[in-house]
Structure 1
């Protein structure tokens, strides 16, 4: 215990318990991955950990000054009184929005079956089959366990900033950004449901074509509102969804997920309460910058508080490239056309791709592959 205490002795008090908890979850998921030969342990916790860290900072006034048991959350006595004397309305609002995010993701994770201990994200199986065993275990320890857990801790840090700000009533920026976050979650929920409905249709259609009678026919009225799309047989044969929100983004759920955490990151930074995003550095002239490149450092200072959102976007970009390489390998003609026609995340990319293909006279042919004769929505 003394070794552990010394390990965390130099950590600032407002990071101490989150760092301890993050270290513990990293060790647990890594050990479980070795025992079970299943590396999706952190995937099962993904829906809860950002909410736990957010709740920690939002509910600091409720916590004891010393841990009551191992890993019990506590508010060290060294914390500034601003954080522990009373609640921050901004931090509480952020916790409420993140809690709704958790409910959405938990529901989607549950129906996908990922909460079952034997299930593993299909991408890990593909990666395992394509790299040496020792390298996969290195990736398991460094990226899957350590880096992902650290990222989930980072997602709770915007609420730490809110908790350090004066605990004033919610500002118009808080209300506007909180409402925008809920709108983004509604779109993300809809994109999840559209994908779920597509796979239900695809499964039912292909089962019928194979002569199986034990599969329930697809009924779009059983799907959530917003996901009752008019799928046609060529959609099932294509193998992946291109309708609804997926007609405007190849990954609308990923786009919304990144947007949500950018909003959470910006809530305290755009508030009128300090510390917030105040840019005071003046840009040096080019000759001075060439003589002393270190002058660029003060210009980058405001980016440090955007690290949670930046890190998440970097993760999503890299993981999406890997996911799409798998999809392209399964459907090279169809998915290749989809990539040429629809933007990876932003619908703006889809508009640009459409205009570019139209100028080259290839839009009609690509559209026919991506959507066929059916309507986009």
Structure 2
């Protein structure tokens, strides 16, 4: 049974009781991330909790009936006594399903983060080191406080909001849209897992010069010396998208955001107009995350192009940034210019002599 519309009006104003505990966790996580970054001189503290926080928020919302009415310990989850009663006593099958998918997402990302060594307290994302060199020290410190520590934690908090909406919908059973979106989410995670494995397989070969024949299915690629000289992966899924893992990451959270919006229950999005643009607040998690990934990808590519100016520049001309459908279009345009054959040999060929290497320092 759909909840009364007033609940969504209250949520839009940011005063629903179900947000009290997650917001406290977000503030504590933001503060701890900043303090630890100052103490250690390492600003990648948020990166180490990125894999867990959306799951913590989503599971908290999905299991609201489970939590005590009062927290027995600091930061222990609790269900506020003034919470909307059906949400406090009944589990939403949609919210539980969404939290389960987010949990699978967490397992995939945590595994990839672990094997890359990024849970090591001394490891820092190489992009922050580059940014630290490019901007004044005071500006980097402000960026660390406002964006790295606090803004990113707020984004992680936002990723739990679709599950929050689903909790208040209280459907008796799952709808057709739930089953369709679940199938799409699982396919998306499998493709992203494959992209992660291909990247990891390539980086291993690049560092060791040896092919690991025990890689996951989908990542058993016969890398060549030309691939290592090229410096960046251009085979498998990466031949169709420059960032297939980023594409899947954004797609996953778009799917999660759509679960409550495509369901028969409220809230439903009205026809778009600038007069009712505020009614589109449920899209905020997906929009904010995609904006973050776009800006992050542009910065990442600027670093890659500075290392491999000729090779990565050709890669940008030949392969779409995210969407694979653009790749044959770019190939057609290069063909019309008479450049496709040369670019393809540079990017996908196995002759090291035709592959431009890393820029000399």
After TM superposition, the score normalised by the length of structure 2 is 0.91
In structure 1, the residue matched to 2:69 is 65
Structure 1 residue 12: Cα displacement: 2.9
Is the 2:55–2:99 contact (alpha carbons within 8 Å) kept by the matching residues of 1? Answer: yes
In structure 2, the residue matched to 1:279 is 270
- Cα deviations across residues 243-278 of structure 1 (Å, max 9, x unaligned)? 000000000000000000000000110011222x24
Structure 1 residue 357: Cα displacement: 1.2
In structure 1, the residue matched to 2:257 is 265
Summarize the alignment of residues 333-352 of structure 1 with structure 2, pairs less than 5 Å apart. 333-352=310-329
Is the 1:220–1:229 contact (alpha carbons within 8 Å) kept by the matching residues of 2? Answer: no
Q: Residue 41 of structure 1: which of 45, 65, 68 is its match?
A: 45
Q: Residue 195 of structure 1: which of 187, 195, 199 is its match?
A: 199
Mean Cα deviation higher: 97-106 or 349-358:
349-358
Count, aligned residues:
338
Summarize the alignment of residues 78-89 of structure 1 with structure 2, pairs less than 5 Å apart. 78-89=82-93
Summarize the alignment of residues 166-205 of structure 1 with structure 2, pairs less than 5 Å apart. 166-205=170-209
SS of equivalent to 1:222: coil
In structure 1, C-alpha distance between the alignment counterparts of 2:146 and 2:269, rounded to whole Å:
35
In structure 2, C-alpha distance between the alignment counterparts of 1:179 and 1:79, rounded to whole Å:
32
2:313 equivalent to 1:321 = no
SS of equivalent to 1:223: coil
Could you tell me which runs of 5 or more consecutive residues in structure 2 were left unpaired when the two chains were aligned. 1-13, 352-361
Is the 2:211–2:222 contact (alpha carbons within 8 Å) kept by the matching residues of 1? Answer: no
SS of equivalent to 1:230: coil
Is the 1:89–1:170 contact (alpha carbons within 8 Å) kept by the matching residues of 2? Answer: yes
In structure 2, C-alpha distance between the alignment counterparts of 1:270 and 1:175, rounded to whole Å:
11
CA gap 1:81/1:315 in 2 versus in 1, 3 angstroms: same
Structure 1 residue 302: Cα displacement: 4.1
In structure 2, the residue matched to 1:208 is none
- Cα deviations across residues 213-265 of structure 1 (Å, max 9, x unaligned)? xxxxx233221110001211100000010000000000000000000000000
Structure 1 residue 99: Cα displacement: 0.3
Is the 2:225–2:350 contact (alpha carbons within 8 Å) kept by the matching residues of 1? Answer: no
2:307 equivalent to 1:330 = yes
Structure 1 residue 166: Cα displacement: 2.4
Is the 1:82–1:163 contact (alpha carbons within 8 Å) kept by the matching residues of 2? Answer: no
Summarize the alignment of residues 211-226 of structure 1 with structure 2, pairs less than 5 Å apart. 218-226=210-218
Is the 1:56–1:73 contact (alpha carbons within 8 Å) kept by the matching residues of 2? Answer: yes
2:221 equivalent to 1:229 = yes
2:88 equivalent to 1:123 = no
In structure 2, C-alpha distance between the alignment counterparts of 1:39 and 1:170, rounded to whole Å:
42
After TM superposition, the score normalised by the length of structure 1 is 0.87
In structure 2, the residue matched to 1:239 is 231
In structure 1, C-alpha distance between the alignment counterparts of 2:312 and 2:211, rounded to whole Å:
26
In structure 1, C-alpha distance between the alignment counterparts of 2:15 and 2:172, rounded to whole Å:
28
Structure 1 residue 149: Cα displacement: 0.2
In structure 2, C-alpha distance between the alignment counterparts of 1:37 and 1:301, rounded to whole Å:
40
Runs of 4+ in 1 over 4 A off after TM superposition: none
In structure 2, C-alpha distance between the alignment counterparts of 1:307 and 1:352, rounded to whole Å:
31
In structure 1, C-alpha distance between the alignment counterparts of 2:205 and 2:176, rounded to whole Å:
44
Structure 1 residue 168: Cα displacement: 1.4
Structure 1 residue 280: Cα displacement: 4.9
Q: Residue 114 of structure 2: which of 110, 115, 135 is its match?
A: 110
In structure 1, C-alpha distance between the alignment counterparts of 2:314 and 2:91, rounded to whole Å:
52
Structure 1 residue 349: Cα displacement: 1.8
In structure 2, C-alpha distance between the alignment counterparts of 1:373 and 1:232, rounded to whole Å:
6
Is the 1:59–1:87 contact (alpha carbons within 8 Å) kept by the matching residues of 2? Answer: yes
Is the 2:155–2:285 contact (alpha carbons within 8 Å) kept by the matching residues of 1? Answer: yes
